[in-house]
Amino acid sequence: MNDIVGKILRTVGILFFGITTLINLLGGIGTTCAAFLTEQYPNYMALIDEGMQWLYQGLVITTVLIGLAGIWVIIELIRGKQNALRNAIVVLVIGTILASIQFYFSQQLLGKAAPANMKFYFNLTSLILFLIFLIPGVRQNVNYAREHRENDRNTAGGLAAITMGVLILATPVWVGPSHISQGENWVDLLQTELILSGIMLLGFGIFLLVRNIRGVINHEYVFSPIDVVEED
């Protein structure tokens, strides 16, 4: 496996982890109303009837916390910190367990698993990907524990930020249909926050990539060969 493949896999891993972290955060925040204000949402009264409201409240808190931990791990992965890979796997294992619990009980109590099922699938897929990174030959080339060049860090960080920004801005599209109750879309409650955070991430990602491109251009300009004309 050459260095180029290692860079691609490293970037793909950061992208998947970033998307999973975002989904965990949105999933945790999005369940807040149903878990803590259950009586105002008739579709979720089964949580009270079955005495499972406490479980969903716990899932909200722990899922948001694991999402915040994911942000810290993303920074570690991009910067190439020691134990970044291990920390990522720990976060993904916990995230997968939490998502599987919500997946199961949502299906049993509410008769539907969305969007908890999507959160579970993303956590599981990212976990499998990072477990593949533990394979000796792959781990040496991906090597999240090594500090990489600034250009590589900016590329990975920029792509992750842009992807997360686009997903946040598109939240009403891919989350909205599963959050409609009594003719109201719950996603609209966070519309301003989603737009602002999405634009900020998108802008930051573009800034990093543009900075990278300018750095490459300047590097090529500085080190371009200069023709010396000798006088007769």
CB-hemisphere CA count at 13 Å for 22? 23
Task: Assess whether pLDDT exceeds 90 at residue 63.
Answer: yes
Task: Assess whether pLDDT exceeds 80 at residue 40.
Answer: no
Q: What is the pTM of this model?
A: 0.78
Q: What is the pLDDT of residue 160?
A: 81
* Residue burial 99-138, b: 16+ Cβ < 10 Å; e: rest: bbbbbebbeebbeebebbbbbbebbbebbebbeebeeeee
Q: For residue 68, give every residue at least 6 positions away whose Cβ sits within 8 Å of its Cβ, in sequence order, or none.
A: 25
Q: What is the pLDDT of residue 176?
A: 59
**pLDDT band for position 182 (cuts 50, 70, 90):** low
Mean pLDDT of the region 193-216:
81
Task: Assess whether pLDDT exceeds 80 at residue 172.
Answer: no
**pLDDT band for position 8 (cuts 50, 70, 90):** confident
Q: For residue 104, give every residue at least 6 positions away whose Cβ sits within 8 Å of its Cβ, in sequence order, or none.
A: none
Q: Please, are residues 16 and 4 in contact by the beta-carbon 8 Å criterion? A: no
Q: Please, are residues 161 and 202 in contact by the beta-carbon 8 Å criterion? A: yes
Average pLDDT over the chain, rounded to an integer:
81
Mean pLDDT of the region 110-125:
87
